[in-house]
Chain A
Amino acid sequence: MPTSPEAILERSDSLRREIGGDFRDRMVGALYESAQQVASRSVRETGKRKWDFDQRVDRLVTSRSLGLPIMLLLLALVFWITILGANVPSQMLANALFTVEAAAAGWFDSLGVPLWITGLLWHGMFRGLAWVVSVMLPPMAIFFPVFTILEDLGYLPRVAFNLDWLFRRAGAHGKQALTMAMGFGCNAAGVTSTRIIDSPRERLLAILTNNFVPCNGRFPTLIMLAVIFVAASFPPAVASVAAAGAVVCVVVLGIGFTLAVSWALSRSVLSGEASAFTLELPPYRRPSVLRILYTSLIDRTVFVLGRAMLTAAPAGAVIWILANVTYGERSLASLAIGWLDPLGAAIGLDGVILLAYVIAIPANEIVVPTMLMCYLGGSMMIDVATYDEIRVVLIDQHGWTLLTAVNLMLFSLLHNPCATTILTIWKETRSPRWTTLGALMPLAFAFATCFATAQAVRLLP
């Protein structure tokens, strides 16, 4: 008769007692000893030049006093390069694409195609696409490779190291700094990357707060506002630096919200202590240029842009329909805008911006294009391609103030995650409760914060 499993367990239990309590320690000791023996025979040190260099760099970028400033400086540098490099290609793309729109629409007219088909196809869908491509593609094509270089170098774990104490104080896991960094690329990817956090409580904190760092879809909005409103009040020589500084301020505010909300959650619905973990600081590696270009341009840029275009074309059609279908005397768009205006005014924005955010729920990337299309809905002929022209439209024609710009930046930073991110939160948590909280909590923060700033500014003399 074969031995029963129970008999084996009984035997092993009694043997374990015989061996004594330190079995695990002794086995691990034996393991380390074997590893050390083998390694000592096969590894020979001939010098230690590179090692010292790595450590010296690490002592600098993870130092108590300089670690955080260096991090912010690098972040500012990334945005500065993006802002500086994206401006001209953006305008060229916009000019080219709007020329195509005008030519194609003219050609359709000469063929006698009904006006509504031309309008829907070219002034609606195509214009939506043109805006998304010209506003998004250049900043993304610059931001993603630069960010990937930092990742490839091995800088992200150093960021986690620098921020660990902050997250621990907030009751969150130190690796949340890593998932937060991934959120800069895409919040949905950031939510997925929280799988590296073992504790379910801390993982939920990371998931729920990931939206507070602006993803790549929201950077173009922030960058545009920074260029139009912040940079314009500085001399041209330092304008791009000032714009980059403004974006960094918004990002730091987002990190502040991440920490504050994590802190509040870990002292209420998700109470508990931060767990300890080990984080390896990998050696600095020379980034391989071809792979970075491939990963950042094909995997990330094309993927994100493709998604944006998929949502931009229908959104363009929706805007065109709203602007051109009338109910009574007014178009549907102006009815919706009129209806949303009081709410918008209360939080320092306006009805058009709120309508744009409703239409842009599928993807944050299309907020600015949607907004501009709503503003320009009535005046199709205006060719708006440069930031200067956008400024004329927003400030002179639609009464934007500095408050509108600041609040739009805040709203863009804090508002609800895009549909993809909400879906990812659902996939990762499988909980209607956390998904709802993940979607609505940021929205509530956005309204509350914007309401507070609007009221505060209006109280000022």
Chain B
Amino acid sequence: MSANVCNGCPAHDQLARMGIDVESYDHVVALAGNPNTGKSSVFNALTGLRQHVGNWTGKTVTRAEGAFGYKSRRYKLVDLPGTYSLLSASQDEEIARNFLLFGQPDCTVIVTDATALERNLNLVLQVLEITDKAVVCVNLMDEAERKGLEIDVRSLSRDLGVPAVPTVARSKQGMAELVSTVAAVIGGEIRTSPLRIETPAGVSEAISGLVPLIEDLVPGLANARWVALRLLDGDHKVREALLSGELADLAGSQHASAPQRSSRITAIAGAQ
């Protein structure tokens, strides 16, 4: 049934699953999300790979990479470990956060569980603090329906300031729309303006005191506000990145958009 719907969709013919052929690519897409939301299913549906999918938390212990093609462009897809937050520093969260920050994906797909949207949004909002280019994939729509939940994806998209796409990754529903949305975000046809968390009283002033300093040190850094927030929280890793010049390197490459560079950092993050 779902396959027929896909066949009729114009995007259907344009999605080419390219498996593990990640040699050359035009764009990098990261796959983030809470554990057990079906990230691996989305990964498999897009790349045609068959990464093992299991119904238990923490199954994806290593980062998987795959590739797909869409409208004659090649995309590398990186499946990050599932995490509940990007705040504390367990190994999983660090791998995910480092990739979002230093791997500089051209777009991040945040996979969410439609049956537990509120909890999943905690991570979505944290990812949106780091990156503007994101698409929220509202997965497990079939389960939400069975549980009697109705998800207003348009309202969600409007509130978050990034596109939201309903999917059932296990049966490949919504994959074509997800891919075309990712392409549109990367291409700039869809403009995103992510919701920023409303900061508590006093914090906004502190942030606006820090951001100019950070931007002065690292001109052109896309996530200066996030860095300021982490510094205010006393995040050791971010302090180290600032002192070692790692953050400064980051800003240089944010403009150059050099795939080789990001793949080198990917390799480093992967070796950790």
Contact = CB atoms under 8 A, between A and B. Distances in A.
Contacts of A30: 197-200
A175 interface: yes
Contacts of A12: 210, 228, 231-232
Interface stretch (B64-72, B153-161, B259-267): B153-161
Interface string A178-221: 10000000000000110110100000000000000000000000
Given A5-B217, A19-B206, A178-B56, A50 B146 contact: yes
A280 B36 contact: yes
Given A2-B217, A196-B61, A18 B206 contact: yes
14 contacts: A3-B213, A9-B239, A11-B209, A19-B202, A19-B203, A23-B203, A28-B87, A34-B198, A40-B118, A152-B53, A154-B55, A178-B56, A196-B59, A280-B57
A9 B234 CA distance: 9
A73 interface: no
Given A44-B152, A50-B146, A291-B53, 8 more contacts: A8-B214, A12-B210, A23-B232, A30-B199, A42-B152, A46-B149, A51-B148, A280-B35
A43 interface: yes
A196 B58 contact: yes
A145 to B, nearest CB: 14
A23 B55 CA distance: 36
In the A-B complex, list the 8 residue pairs whose CB atoms are closest, starting with the nearest: A47-B148, A39-B118, A35-B121, A195-B61, A12-B231, A154-B55, A42-B156, A196-B58
Interface stretch (A108-116, A225-233, A281-289): A281-289
B121 A299 contact: no
Given A39-B117, A43-B117, A178-B56, A288 B239 contact: no
Nearest to A20: B202
A4 B217 contact: yes
Interface of A: 2-9, 11-12, 15-16, 18-20, 23-24, 26-51, 151-154, 156-157, 175, 178, 192-193, 195-196, 198, 279-280, 282-283, 285, 288, 291, 294-295, 298-299
Chain B interface extent, by class: 35 or more
B126 A31 contact: yes
B55 A156 contact: yes
Contacts of A19: 202-203, 206, 232
Contacts of A20: 202
A43 B214 contact: no
A48 B152 contact: no
A175 to B, nearest CB: 7
Contacts of A28: 87
B75 to A, nearest CB: 23
Given A50-B147, A151-B55, A8 B198 contact: no
A9 B243 CA distance: 9
Contact of A193 (B53, B61, B210): B61
B7 interface: no
Contact of A27 (B62, B118, B159, B233): B233
Contacts of B62: 195
A156 B56 CA distance: 7
A336 B120 CA distance: 63
B13 to A, nearest CB: 23
Interface in B136-184: 143, 146-153, 155-156, 159-160, 170-171
A34 B195 contact: yes
Contacts of A26: 200, 203
A284 to B, nearest CB: 8
B150 A27 contact: no
Contacts of A154: 55-56
B149 A2 contact: no
A154 B199 CA distance: 38
Nearest to B207: A15
Contacts of A151: 54-56
Contact of B150 (A11, A16, A29, A43): A43
A100 B121 CA distance: 62
Contacts of A38: 121, 156, 159-160, 195
B79 to A, nearest CB: 15
Nearest to A300: B52
A396 to B, nearest CB: 45
A300 B159 CA distance: 44
Contacts of A43: 117-118, 149-152
Contacts of B159: 37-38, 41-42
Nearest to B152: A42
A295 B234 contact: no
A288 B229 CA distance: 43
B89 to A, nearest CB: 10
A3 B150 contact: no
B122 A18 contact: no
Contact of A24 (B115, B146, B233): B233
B45 to A, nearest CB: 11
Contact of A31 (B52, B125, B156, B203): B125
